[in-house]
């Protein structure tokens, strides 16, 4: 799909990967870029920069997502590309609070479900539409320190896979972007000792990969090329991969 002249929505668009996506879509000639974020001021700042529109929405509230989509359809007639990008970082394992697990589930899974419910009727009626999920390499490779994050990201990936199976032949295109470390506030809050910092990409590099992936209508977008190789190793010898992940976790914990 070409981005030029398309109506594009980006959730979590007030900064990080979302802000970079908004800038890239505007540069590529999108007809309208709608910057959505739970932080109204952040969304407005990005929208003002690119000549887009800002809409506050909490993606964990279905009525907010439905209102976001209905408003854009009423104003612009359609939503061509919807980037379900909002995310949070929650570490720990089973001991993480129920609230942390539920919030991770709501942001990384139900936000995609709410978007699909709102978007698919119009897209299916037109026989065209594109949904992009900002997932994570953690969905493919897990995360040695953050179970709520890895588990819910994997569930989000599975939902996008299901939609690609169910709706592709009806004209709906889907992509998931699965980066490792990206130089955003989410990575910065974990400190310089985060094991993903060394190979981190700039948000603009991720946005470039997403734009190219949409153009090629490629389901799996990997801004870090070595993630694909790691994924193949995991599939070829699961036990060996688990041993390697245990060693990685041990090294990280020793350094802390």
Contact predicate 34/9, CB 8 Å: yes
Contact predicate 203/187, CB 8 Å: no
233's torsion region: left (phi>0), alpha (psi -120 to 50) or beta? Answer: alpha
Q: What letters, b where the CB count within 10 A reaches 16 and e where it falls short, cover 203-217?
A: bbbbbebbbebbeee
> Does residue 168 have an active-site annotation?
no
Distances (CA, A) of 167 to 2, 10, 73, 131, 163: 19, 21, 20, 11, 6
In 28-178, which residue ranges form alpha helices assigned H by DSSP? 40-50, 62-76, 98-105, 111-126, 138-141, 147-167
Among residues 82, 149, 167, 168, the one annotated as catalytic is: 149
Backbone angles phi, psi at 182, to 5 degrees: -130, 140
Chain center to CA of 216? 18
The conformation of residue 61, written as its DSSP 8-state character, comes to S
Catalytic residue positions, numbered: 149
């Amino acid at each position: 799909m070409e981005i030029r002249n398309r109506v594009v929505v980006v959730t979590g668009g007030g900064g990080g990967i979302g802000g970079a996506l908004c800038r890239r879509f505007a540069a590529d000639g999108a007809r309208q870029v709608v910057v959505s974020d739970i932080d109204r001021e952040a969304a407005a700042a990005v929208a003002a920069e690119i000549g887009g529109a800002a809409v506050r929405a909490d993606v964990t509230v279905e009525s907010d997502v439905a209102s976001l989509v209905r408003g854009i359809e009423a104003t612009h007639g359609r939503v061509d590309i919807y980037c379900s990008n909002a995310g949070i970082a929650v570490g720990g394992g089973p001991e993480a609070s129920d609230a942390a697990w539920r919030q991770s589930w709501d942001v990384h899974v139900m936000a995609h479900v709410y978007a699909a419910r709102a978007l698919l009727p119009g897209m299916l009626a037109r026989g065209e539409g594109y949904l992009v999920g900002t997932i994570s390499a953690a969905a493919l490779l897990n995360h040695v320190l953050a179970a709520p994050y890895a588990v819910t990201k994997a569930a989000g990936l599975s939902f996008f896979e299901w939609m690609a199976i169910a709706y592709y032949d009806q004209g709906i295109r889907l992509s998931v972007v699965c980066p490792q470390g990206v130089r955003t506030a989410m990575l910065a809050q974990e400190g310089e000792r985060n094991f993903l910092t060394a190979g981190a990409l700039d948000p603009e590099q991720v946005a470039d990969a997403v734009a190219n992936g949409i153009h090629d209508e490629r389901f799996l977008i990997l801004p870090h090329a070595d993630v694909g190789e790691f994924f193949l190793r995991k599939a070829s010898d699961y036990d060996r991969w688990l041993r390697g992940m245990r060693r990685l976790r041990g090294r990280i914990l020793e350094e802390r």
